[in-house]
Amino acid sequence: MTERDLRLSLAVAGVVTLAFGLLALISPGTFFDEIGRYGAKNTHYVGDVGAFQAAAGVGLLLAVGRPSWRAPLLWVGAVWFGLHALNHLFDIGEARSDSRGLFDTVSLALLGVGSAYLARESERLRDAGGDDTLA
Q: How far is residue 81's CA from residue 60's CA, in Å, rounded to a whole number?
A: 15
Domain segments of the chain: what residues?
Answer: 3-127
Q: What is the pTM of this model?
A: 0.87
Contacts 24+ apart (CB under 8 A), 26-32: 26/50
pLDDT per residue over 78-112, tens digit each?
Answer: 999 999 999 999 998 888 888 989 999 999 999 99
The residue-averaged pLDDT of 15-38 equals: 93
* Strand stretches in 14-85, DSSP E: none
Q: What's the CA angle centered on 54, arms 25 and 101, to 5 degrees?
A: 75
In the predicted model, what is the mean pLDDT of the chain? 92
- DSSP labels for 109-132? HHHHHHHHHHHHHHHHHHHTT-SS
